[in-house]
């Protein structure tokens, strides 16, 4: 036989019934958990549900500088009715900050900060030369402009973000967010991607062409050397882009650990400068920095 509190749906720990606590005390306990745990525990009982809805809980899940970040946008989110509503608005609807050059949102289950640097916030070599790059608008982009590659031989894209902008004690990864529209030249050689701090970086080779397997099937008998462009490495063996839920492609550039208070910057790059072949059809929305999924 269970205890009386267990039989009535109470949460007991030994002889102690947590539901006997005042709602404010339960809310304080929930504020030391995570957004995921608070949502789960809200299903336990009415008093837990009421506590889990309180501003006291969700204020702890919001970043301490959220008001400052929101003030850098034209958003009216600070007038949102509850802290829980504000939290999920920031999870589901990235806000544009810093004169349209960045976006900000929260990771839904951890509350960690996520940023995307718009293409206009990146260093793109030859980016201001119309014969090489153009800057159209796309309705599916969160930013007013994207960078469209018209034709280059030397591809070089770099971005920076201050570690102090990010959540502390968090492992992050950076991702190039892009589309390939009638792309040419990315099935010849790999791209080199890197993420570094204080001059120490990790670099790897990736294949930016999402259709490399289909191209290989169509052309391997004609030009088999094209898919063995990295010494003994085969382009088909390299990491390739994944499709996101918003329809864009992304590829991980690398990862790093943020203590959250450093004045240092994270340097991120994508280059393809060794092959000597001309490339076109790449459309860049930006570089996204978000927590690794296993956090």
pLDDT tens digits, residue range 110-120? 999 999 999 99
Distance CA 120, CA 229 (A): 31
Q: Does 98 reside within a domain?
A: no
Residue 189, domain CATH:
2.60.120.260
Specify whether the CB–CB gap between 165 and 244 falls below 8 A: no
The CA-based angle 270-98-35, given to 5 degrees, is: 85
Under the banding of pLDDT at 50, 70 and 90, the label for residue 18 is low
What does the block give as tokens for 191?
């791209």
What does the block give as tokens for 278?
């001309």
Instruction: Choose one of 39, 62, 93: the last residue of a domain.
Output: 93
Q: Does 5 reside within a domain?
A: no
How many structural domains comprise the chain? 2
Distance CA 105, CA 93 (A): 7
Question: Quick one: 207 and 174 in the same domain?
Answer: yes
Q: Is the pLDDT of residue 5 over 50?
A: no
| pLDDT tens digits along 49-107 | 888 888 888 999 999 999 999 999 988 887 777 999 999 999 999 999 999 999 999 99
pLDDT of res. 124: 98
Question: Quick one: 226 and 123 in the same domain?
Answer: yes
Specify whether the CB–CB gap between 125 and 269 falls below 8 A: no
The three-class DSSP label of residue 111 is coil
How would you label 4-38 residue by residue, b for 16+ Cβ within 10 Å and e otherwise? ebeeeebbeeeeebbbebeeeebbbebbebebeeb
* Domain that includes residue 44, residue range: 15-93
Distance CA 89, CA 45 (A): 25
Residue 86: how many other CB atoms lie within 10 Å: 21
Distance CA 172, CA 159 (A): 15
Q: Does 101 reside within a domain?
A: no
Question: Quick one: 123 and 40 in the same domain?
Answer: no
Q: Does 8 reside within a domain?
A: no
Distance CA 17, CA 190 (A): 61
Residue among 88, 83, 92 at smallest CA distance from 64 = 83
Specify whether the CB–CB gap between 264 and 197 falls below 8 A: yes
Question: Quick one: 133 and 54 in the same domain?
Answer: no
Question: Quick one: 211 and 131 in the same domain?
Answer: yes
Top pLDDT among 219 and 239 is at 239
Distance CA 153, CA 276 (A): 6
């Amino acid at each position: 036989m269970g205890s009386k509190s267990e039989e009535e749906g109470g949460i007991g720990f030994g002889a102690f019934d947590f539901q006997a606590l005042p709602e404010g005390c339960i809310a304080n306990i929930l504020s030391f958990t995570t957004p995921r745990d608070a949502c789960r525990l809200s299903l336990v009982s009415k008093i837990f549900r009421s506590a889990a809805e309180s501003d006291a809980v969700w204020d702890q899940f919001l970043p301490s500088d959220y008001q400052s970040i929101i003030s850098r946008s034209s958003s009216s989110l600070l007038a949102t009715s509850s802290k829980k509503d504000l939290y999920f608005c920031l999870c589901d609807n990235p806000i544009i900050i810093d004169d349209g050059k960045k976006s900000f949102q929260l990771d839904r289950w951890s509350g960690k900060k996520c940023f995307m640097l718009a293409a206009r916030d990146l260093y793109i070599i030859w980016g201001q030369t119309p014969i090489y790059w153009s800057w159209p608008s796309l309705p599916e982009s969160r930013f007013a402009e994207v960078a469209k590659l018209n034709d280059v031989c030397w591809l070089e894209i770099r971005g920076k973000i201050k570690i102090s902008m990010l959540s502390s004690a968090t492992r992050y990864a950076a991702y190039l967010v892009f589309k390939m529209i009638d792309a040419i030249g990315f099935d010849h050689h790999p791209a080199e991607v890197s993420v570094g701090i204080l001059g120490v970086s990790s670099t790897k080779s990736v294949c930016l062409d999402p259709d490399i397997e289909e191209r290989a099937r169509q052309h391997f008998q004609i030009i088999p050397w094209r898919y063995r462009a990295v010494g003994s490495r085969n382009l088909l063996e390299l990491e390739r882009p994944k499709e996101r839920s918003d329809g864009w492609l992304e590829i991980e550039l690398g990862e790093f650990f943020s203590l959250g208070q450093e004045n240092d910057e994270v340097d991120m790059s994508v280059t393809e400068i060794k092959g000597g072949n001309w490339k076109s059809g790449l459309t860049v929305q930006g570089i996204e920095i978000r927590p690794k999924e296993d956090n």
